[in-house]
Structure 1
Amino acid sequence: MAMRDPHLTNLKGILQKLREDDKPIRDSNPDLQRLCDTIESIFRKGLKKPGSLFGLYNRDYWCWIESLPNYLFNERLNPIFGAAIDTCKTSPKVKTNQGRGRFFIRIALNKNILSVPIEHLLKNPRLTEYWYDPGDSIIGNELMVESLMSLLFWATELKFELNLRNTSFLDQTWVMPVLRHYELVPCKQLGVLIRYIKNRVVVAAIQPGSVAEENNRIEAGDLMDEMYGENLYGNSKGKVPKLLSQHEGWPIYVSVIKVHTRSGKVFHPLKELHLTIQQEFPDFPMPSDRQPIRESTSPDASGEMPEGEGPVHNSSGSAIYKVKYVGRTDVGREGGTCVIEGAIAKVLQEKGKDSSTYQEGEMELAETNVITRNPDGTEEIWRHSYPEISSCGRRVDSVIYFAYVAGDTTCTISKHFHCYVFQARTERDSKTILTSIAQGFGRTTWFV
């Protein structure tokens, strides 16, 4: 087998092109799909696929990535790698091994850990040979895997800012749809006619004069992906009205997968859903291709939620945010960021994602403390000084939920930590609160 492989040549060429621009690499980058497709081809080349006796188990590269923690007997698992695996396994938006593997590649690019699973695999030659044919693979070939690792380390010098919430179609395609996050004014009705097709919420029509029609934010043929930070894919048919009822009086926060891609073409996986709608509603206007989307820094074009009113400030100048307290969990002696994603998942599993059951409150980011009170501010729920807080962060797939870890005394000497989980009103609030907590005390570590 030649020591040069076209996949490695392609990967090197794509990375060289990406390095020419100093800007962060986002989903709109035209070379991103080629990069991800090439990485996936390398991961699949020479992969042994015995399958099950009846062909019921379709093995893919995600299978060995997922299994790695079970084989690290005398080796410490990279905590970011471990959190990435957990995120892919628990995400409700990816249902197949292909989708989970693709989600992992996107997380790994963002977190600069793409080489980590291969490093772990190569430390166990028998495991490497179990998964890869040494005569027909790159990862299983001693010489070519060295070239691959050099390129992957090279990739860590690039800054990726991929939207990790845009995962709903990774089971089907590497083409990334346009995902918009909107904050709409409080109202009892959104003004959309929706149909549930193959477990997805598709917009069949828009009510004239409704908040959804304003500025053509939501269009017939769009897909509603999230509402108030909660996934809609695969949920019950009553999920949307239930969420609107639970958040009555709040602004409406909705994430929408647009019918058109950035190139102006109709997003291909939606076409089959549109045909199904047209059978039920003959007047449904079948979307067609149009001019490419012009990227802009305005809120509507970029998909970012508008600033809104922002936090309230009290007489001392402290910022106060409306939040919901979800719960807390014991994380033992470890207070670093590596425990946060798992702790949030554990609390959400125990409490559920029905936000009506969470405790309403407000969070004050004071000069020396983070204080959570009941809605009228008369009773404290939690108070932690910045020296007690060891880390803060949020999950990559549920960014409206955030958390901080605090010890039973100053975090540098504490031997016991708890993780406190909250729900913010918006993704922007969540990030701002985390940034403020991290700035409150120099020893606090954080990630967003």
Structure 2
Amino acid sequence: MPAKDPLIETLKVCILNLKSEGTVTDSNPHLATCCELLELILRKGLQQPVLSLAHRDYWHCFEQLLHHDTCGRLSSVSLAVQQTTACSKLVTSQGRGRFFIRIMLMRRTLGNVVKHLLHTNRTLLVIYWYFCCNYCLNCLQTEPFLSLSMVLSEMNFKISIENCSFLDESWLLPVCQIYEAVPCRELGMVLRYLDGRVFVLDLLQCSQAQVDMFAEPGDIIDEINGISLRNASNGQAGVVLSKLKGQPLSIHLIRWRGEDGSIYQPLVKHLRQLKQEKPSLQFGPKPASQQDRTAGQKRGQTQSAGFKHTEWFV
């Protein structure tokens, strides 16, 4: 009797836990684990090209599917690949692969993608690399993996696609909220650029930002009116706002706090940098009097002036 693969068996248990919850949302505690297991399985059988220094991930294999779709059966996959490639919030191949997996789960097409992927790699070995015979193309592992992928395709996933800026670093996503502002008053924030992200460093006294408490030091401005600030250069937020002057604003904020109030782990090193620059910052439990208000109920006006590393957002 062939030995059971521990990853396949763990994924099976995780899927059972997901199914017991009904509709799967980002708050489901088993979602990140399930996605991580899928990623480990897809990577376990990878063989890198011999005559190349470039390291390739499973995302490149998904990309290559489009070149071998001679029957036009993968139109939904084509759209998902295009959406993934066009997403400016993703910097690495790892992030793009994770984004693609989430899209496939949400659109219930993961099973068909895996089926076509395995079939393509059995017959066409002209892509950059492929799943090698010791795992995914091994008949002892292919069928269980494909079956579990089909089960996932039958489940209802209602997960966010917009909240993807940290998929490069982690399957665990931060809290992301939207603040809407009309051009009537000032906001008043000081911004700090770290590793291509726009952090809130401070709120000006008696400013709209401080009064509404829609943001706090350590939060990240992820996008403004659909314009991503991922991988932003110094002063870019000010440039974006100057172009939108006089228009209503929709600001996507990434919170440094998780749902449970703890620090979102991928931000720990950045928060330490902010605290070194401004020692008075405190990243601890939030006072009960400062609970977040419902997104979309605040109003304000923004103007900005860019500086070398820190930007006054007032």
Specify if TM > 0.5: yes
Q: Is the 8 A contact 1:184 1:211 kept in 2?
A: no
2:11 equivalent to 1:15: no
2:279 equivalent to 1:278: no
**Pairing of 1:128-147 with structure 2 (within 5 A):** 131-135=130-134, 137=135, 139-147=136-144
Give the 3 Å change call, closer, same or farther, for CA 235–225 of structure 1 in structure 2: same
Aligned to 1:44: 43
Question: 2:20 and 2:165 mapped to 1: Cα distance?
Answer: 30
Q: Is the 8 A contact 2:219 2:253 kept in 1?
A: yes
Corresponding residue to 2:224 among 218, 223, 227: 227
Aligned to 1:80: 76
- Identify unmatched segments of 5+ residues in structure 2: 300-314
The structural deviation recorded for 1:306 is 5.0
Moved more, 195-204 or 211-220: 211-220
Question: 1:165 and 1:215 mapped to 2: Cα distance?
Answer: 24
**Pairing of 1:116-155 with structure 2 (within 5 A):** 116-124=112-120, 125-127=122-124, 131-135=130-134, 137=135, 139-155=136-152
Aligned to 2:303: none
2:147 equivalent to 1:158: no
Aligned to 1:4: 4
Could you tell me the percent identity over the aligned residues?
32
The structural deviation recorded for 1:299 is 7.0
Question: 2:50 and 2:225 mapped to 1: Cα distance?
Answer: 40
Question: 1:222 and 1:268 mapped to 2: Cα distance?
Answer: 13
Q: Tell me the TM-score normalised to structure 1 length.
A: 0.60
Aligned to 1:330: none
Aligned to 1:64: 61
Deviation string, structure 1 residues 317-336 (Cα, Å, up to 9, x no partner): xxxxxxxxxxxxxxxxxxxx
- Identify unmatched segments of 5+ residues in structure 1: 309-448
2:31 equivalent to 1:32: yes
Match of 1:204, SS state, is strand
Question: 1:9 and 1:149 mapped to 2: Cα distance?
Answer: 13
Q: Is the 8 A contact 2:84 2:96 kept in 1?
A: yes
Aligned to 2:266: 269
Corresponding residue to 1:105 among 87, 98, 101: 101
Corresponding residue to 1:200 among 192, 197, 200: 197
Number of residue-to-residue matches in the alignment: 293
Instruction: Report the aligned-residue RMSD.
Output: 2.6
Aligned to 1:183: 180
**Pairing of 1:344-423 with structure 2 (within 5 A):** none
Higher gyration radius (CA)? 1
Q: Is the 8 A contact 2:193 2:233 kept in 1?
A: no
Question: 1:150 and 1:278 mapped to 2: Cα distance?
Answer: 49
Match of 1:123, SS state, is helix
Q: Which has the higher strand share?
A: 1
